[in-house]
Amino acid sequence: MRDFLFLSRSASIYLNRACPRKCPACDVVKGGFSTMCASRWMEAFDILRDRGVSFFLILGAEPLVYPRRDLLDLVSYWSREDFEYGFYTAAPLSKFEELKRPLIESGLLNWSSGCDFVPVVYDELKSEGKLSDLCIDLVENSEGGAELRKKAEDVLYAMGEMLSLGISEAQLTITVYRSNIEFVPEMVQWMLDQFPSPLCVSLNYVNRGDIGLDFASSGPSSDRFFLREEDATVFDEFVSKMDGLGEEYWDRIQVPRSYLFDRGLPLTLDRRGSPHYCPVSVECDGSMRLCGYRRGDGLDEWSVFDLADDDKFLSFLQSWEFQATHCFGCGWNCCSIINEPLYLAVNQNPTERQWLTNYRSEGWRSRMGILGDV
């Protein structure tokens, strides 16, 4: 293999394309895909590991609605093989109650959920007149607004339950949209006050960009949720409030400040990525994707099983690397703001490496392989 072609160290995994939620701006549920069984997924994980992937982000659409026996077999397999992963769920309540103890008994290591809304925080700030009309309109009058509240209630309940059951890693991810940017800092503080360690909070954003987001609904209704240049003032206010949080909070926030607070990244869409950190993705039928958010152009011509063949792997890698480098990015692809010379400098200079240390917990940073011995 040529040295300058390489696969990401992380992979996003779509176990299925089913989800009972109807969240605003989300179009992750899709027909036309078959779903691989657990034994076939185990083959896929082995191939990816052999190609250098060391961390797996287990997505659904919703993993809790993947067939129960297959899901528990996969959790046992990850534990047995000592895989490093994030288990990302929207915690639909009926499935959660059914599966929470069997998942722990099967060896589940990580519990992660997206939570872009905290009802008690929003309600309090609204009653005090501290939210704009746009914010209120996006929350209350958009299609799926009721689901936003219901999902948040379920996710927060499930997080408390999993922490009480002794889950060893826990994360809540807030994706910063126009609908919540005015109260994200208050949500962060509430979450970290409400839940003990090992819970950490991660801040994310997604650029729509010119490479299609196939997880997001299309059209002007969905587009209203995404940050844009005209939001610069509210973004600066968000930064000011976040920067005012004490170190006891920042110690549990998994994102570097210099990355989050450069408004050019989430607002102007003027960045390019590095394939070191764009997480390659596998669809539920085994076909390849650019990442968890974007299908990519023509990448579904390959399957994960093609990657076991050196020639097919190289062919896929050439196409994937180019698209990863030109993706507008998201918060999951945090370190893609580092170009190659800077990447080398950061990894050779322990002082420079320190700015990355809030991206993930120590365990997650180690699994991503981005910080050496820091």
Return all residues near 99 (Cβ < 8 A) that are at least 6 apart: 64, 68, 71, 72
- Examine residue 174 and state whether it is found in any structural domain, yes or no: yes
- Two tokens at 24? 């605003």
- Examine residue 234 and state whether it is found in any structural domain, yes or no: yes
- Examine residue 355 and state whether it is found in any structural domain, yes or no: no
- Examine residue 112 and state whether it is found in any structural domain, yes or no: yes
- Number of structural domains (the chain) is 1
Tens digit of pLDDT at every position of the chain (374 positions) = 334 455 677 788 999 988 888 777 677 777 778 999 999 999 999 999 998 887 788 988 899 999 999 999 999 999 999 888 889 999 999 999 999 999 999 999 899 999 999 999 999 999 999 999 999 999 998 777 788 899 999 999 999 999 999 998 899 999 888 999 999 999 999 999 999 988 989 888 776 655 556 666 555 567 788 888 888 899 889 989 998 998 888 878 876 555 555 565 566 544 444 444 567 899 999 999 988 778 888 999 999 999 999 999 989 988 887 787 666 556 554 433 333 333 333 344 433 333 333 333 454 445 444 444 33
Residue indicated by tokens 């503080």: 189
- Examine residue 113 and state whether it is found in any structural domain, yes or no: yes
- Examine residue 347 and state whether it is found in any structural domain, yes or no: no
Look up the CATH number of the domain holding residue 75: 3.20.20.70
The boundaries of the domain holding residue 251 are 10-340
- Examine residue 357 and state whether it is found in any structural domain, yes or no: no
Long-range contact pairs involving 49-53 (C-beta distance under 8 Å, separation at least 24): 49/83, 50/308, 51/7, 51/307, 51/313, 52/6, 52/7, 52/9, 53/7, 53/8, 53/9, 53/10, 53/11, 53/280
- Examine residue 63 and state whether it is found in any structural domain, yes or no: yes
b/e burial code for range 128-153 (CB count within 10 A of at least 16 → b): eeebeeebeebbeebebbebbbbbbb
**What pLDDT score was predicted for residue 150?**
92
**What pLDDT score was predicted for residue 94?**
94
